[in-house]
Amino acid sequence: MDEEISIINSNARHEKVRSFFVNNKNKIISIIVVLIIVIVGAYSFDSYQTNKRKEISNKFNSTTLAHSENTKGTTVKNLVEIIKEQDSTYSPLSLYFIIDNKLVSNQSEINDYFDILIEKTSLDKEIKNLVIYKKALFNSDQAQENDLLNILNPLINSKSVWKSHALYLMAEYFYFKDQKQKSKEFFNQIANLEDANSSIKAEAQKRLKRDLSD
């Protein structure tokens, strides 16, 4: 008797499973199709991204290797295109190459490229902070106090590894402007910063003793 009941229960379960698949056949097929599309789409996108990065890498390398005074226009054109691709590696490298080789003289144009990196490009947090610092450094000779502070505030108000660099840049900025008290305040911040860059902290302490002691 128990064996017959077990067989009946087993048949009932099989019938329920069969009925479920029959009644939901269209839904199941749709789910399978969607999963296949998602998997194929993800693979295709990943493959596209890999090929795209390879193209950008090749473009950057060939452009910088071929650079000369005669190819300046082509160099700038190609590197600006790479910056606008918003690639996490080669977009910053392209801007640095432009700046290091003085290929663009328009400061506003360079700042626009910095903003593409800072605001639109997906960068590691500290790489982004480095770009912010480089933007401030690039503008430090001509920027007004408020403008330079606005650029550097994300670093000054953070725990970034570039915080002490930002403070030092502001200290030097004010010292050059002969605003010794403001300069001293920034050097003191570095001296009291627990995790400041050791070389910068030592230099700040030296400047305080040598140039800004009461």
B/e letters for 162-171, b = 16+ CB within 10 Å, e = fewer, are bbbbbbbbbb
User: Alpha helices, DSSP H only, in 67-122?
Assistant: 72-84, 90-100, 107-115
Phi/psi of residue 130, nearest 5 degrees: -65, -40
Residue-wise pLDDT for 135-163, tens only, equals: 999 999 999 999 999 999 999 999 999 99
What pLDDT score was predicted for residue 79? Answer: 97
User: Which residue, among 110, 60, 111, has the nearest Cα to 85 in the 3D structure?
Assistant: 60
CA–CA distance, 64 with 49 (Å, rounded to integer): 22
Residues of the chain with pLDDT under 50: 2
- As to burial, measured by CB atoms within 10 angstroms (0-12 exposed, 13-18 middle, 19+ buried), residue 46 is exposed
What pLDDT score was predicted for residue 34? Answer: 64
Report residue 50 CA to chain centroid gap.
18
* Residue indicated by tokens 């070389």: 199
Contact 161, 129 (CB under 8 A): yes
CA–CA distance, 132 with 10 (Å, rounded to integer): 68
What pLDDT score was predicted for residue 179? Answer: 94
What pLDDT score was predicted for residue 3? Answer: 54
Residues 212/136/79/52 CA torsion (nearest 10 deg): 120
Residue-wise pLDDT for 76-86, tens only, equals: 999 999 999 99
